[in-house]
Structure 1
């Protein structure tokens, strides 16, 4: 099967391309950069907002995975117009290019951040209630602009199904981490600080938690999402264990320390974290995360040191017994 991956040279997209190629598919990476381009993939260096170019690029594809987006919440807040264009207009362009080429399905990358706008059974937020793909979303609770763009993208996907009969799959990512992740992500920042001998800074009290999901586990779910069982379905791809920000710091300290930990002011409109069920992904796709958090952090640290060493010289290694 020939499959296009927008954002196929980025953090998650490049791993998705790798896994699709390993599964025997022909892959087109659609990206304005070639940073993590797999040499076995075709490459269309285009802006997804260029609808004619995107339509031409998707000719001959059967499925498109749409991962290209502005995913850095700080950049979204700093440039709301650019974020809306990237995350909403970009999704519209992909859906329309897929429709013009009669692709069998569009797979949208969304986020568990949308559950921050969900209300529980009692009609109020309940941090202890486990939420699934069918929980109602309250638009007036969308909070961060990043969440609003992702909810809008999901709505576009559903509209294309209802108006034009275009099939979809929505993948709501847990908080991803692993090799190739952006330096701004919390695990990357903590690991790099430890390797550079700098203090780790925690926004707020550090009790806020996330169910991190290792990027290669996440990529595996994309291959499984090609199954007919995933058609017109939404899946939460959540990590199996809640990890607090303080737990991340402690894990990094154990693997790479000793490190100094400092606290700073909490981030505005941050995702507080909710209990999210990944049962539907396990039931319909046979997917569940396999990589425990400490192993994933260790793999990222090994990758980062191998990437950084040629440019910066030797980095500090883990302490004895790690």
Structure 2
């Protein structure tokens, strides 16, 4: 199958390209950069907001994976207009280009951050309620602008299905980590600080949790999303175990330490973590994360040493 991946030379996109190629697919990576371009993939350097150029590039493809986005929440806060153009207008352009080029299926990269706006009871029988793909969203609590852009992108997918019959799959990523991730991401910052013998800084008390997903496990879900069972479905690709920010620091200390830990003020509108089920992905796609957090951190540290020249 010939498929296109927008953002195919970025952190997650490049791993998706790698996994699709390994599965025997023909892949077009659409990205203005080429930092992590797989030499076995075709490359098209174009702006995803350029509808005529994107339509032409998608000719002959069967599926488009749309991963190109402004994903750094700090950049989203600093440039809200740019974030809306990249994340909402960009999704609209990809959907319309796919429609004009005759593609039957578009896969959207979304995020578990949208569950921050979930409309639920706080507890169920004394425990926090587990959320899934059918949990209603309360737009009054969409919170961070990044969440709003992803919710809008998801709504566009549904609208194109209803109006034009364009099939979709929405993949709500857990918090990804692993080789090629941005230096600003928490696991990368902690590992690099440890290797450089700098203190690790934690925003707030460090008790906030994330269900991290190793990037190669995440990429595997994209190959599985090509199956008929994924058509017109939304999947939460959540990690299996909640890891607190403090536990990340402790893991890095155990693997690479000793380290010094310092606390700073908590970040505004940060995603605090919710209990999210990945059962639908396991049931319909046969997907579940297989890499332990400790192993994933070690693999990232090994990759960072190899590519940065750090001892």
TM-score (norm 1): 0.95
Asked if 1:259 corresponds to 2:288, the answer is no
Deviations 1:209-244 (A, max 9, x none): 000000000000000000000000000000000000
SS in 2 for 1:277: coil
Asked if 1:281 corresponds to 2:281, the answer is yes
Taking the aligned partners of 1:273 and 1:121, their CA distance within structure 2 comes to 15
In structure 2, what is the equivalent of residue 86 of structure 1? Answer: 86
In structure 2, what is the equivalent of residue 242 of structure 1? Answer: 242
Q: How many residues align?
A: 310
Taking the aligned partners of 1:122 and 1:201, their CA distance within structure 2 comes to 30
Change (3 A) 1:127 1:96: farther
Gaps of at least 5 residues in structure 2 are: none
Change (3 A) 1:147 1:85: same
Taking the aligned partners of 1:188 and 1:47, their CA distance within structure 2 comes to 28
SS in 2 for 1:131: coil
Contact 1:193-1:200 within 8 A present in 2 as well: yes
How does 1:65-104 map onto structure 2 within 5 Å? 65-104=65-104
Asked if 1:132 corresponds to 2:138, the answer is no
In structure 2, what is the equivalent of residue 35 of structure 1? Answer: 35
In structure 2, what is the equivalent of residue 207 of structure 1? Answer: 207
Taking the aligned partners of 1:161 and 1:287, their CA distance within structure 2 comes to 25
How far off its partner does 1:183 sit?
Answer: 0.3
Deviations 1:247-281 (A, max 9, x none): 00000000000000000000000001000000000
Contact 2:195-2:256 within 8 A present in 1 as well: yes
Contact 1:174-1:212 within 8 A present in 2 as well: yes
Contact 2:123-2:129 within 8 A present in 1 as well: no
In structure 2, what is the equivalent of residue 63 of structure 1? Answer: 63
Taking the aligned partners of 2:225 and 2:196, their CA distance within structure 1 comes to 39
SS in 2 for 1:275: coil
Contact 1:127-1:275 within 8 A present in 2 as well: no
Change (3 A) 1:123 1:191: closer
How far off its partner does 1:102 sit?
Answer: 1.3
Taking the aligned partners of 1:127 and 1:265, their CA distance within structure 2 comes to 28
How far off its partner does 1:127 sit?
Answer: 7.8
Taking the aligned partners of 1:123 and 1:148, their CA distance within structure 2 comes to 25
Contact 1:2-1:60 within 8 A present in 2 as well: yes
How far off its partner does 1:122 sit?
Answer: 7.4
Change (3 A) 1:250 1:122: closer
Gaps of at least 5 residues in structure 1 are: 316-322
In structure 1, what is the equivalent of residue 220 of structure 2? Answer: 220
Taking the aligned partners of 2:278 and 2:90, their CA distance within structure 1 comes to 27
Taking the aligned partners of 1:75 and 1:52, their CA distance within structure 2 comes to 28
In structure 2, what is the equivalent of residue 188 of structure 1? Answer: 188
Taking the aligned partners of 1:104 and 1:165, their CA distance within structure 2 comes to 8
Taking the aligned partners of 2:30 and 2:185, their CA distance within structure 1 comes to 23
Taking the aligned partners of 2:254 and 2:237, their CA distance within structure 1 comes to 27
Taking the aligned partners of 1:31 and 1:140, their CA distance within structure 2 comes to 34
What do you get for the CA RMSD once the two structures are aligned? 1.3
How far off its partner does 1:121 sit?
Answer: 4.8
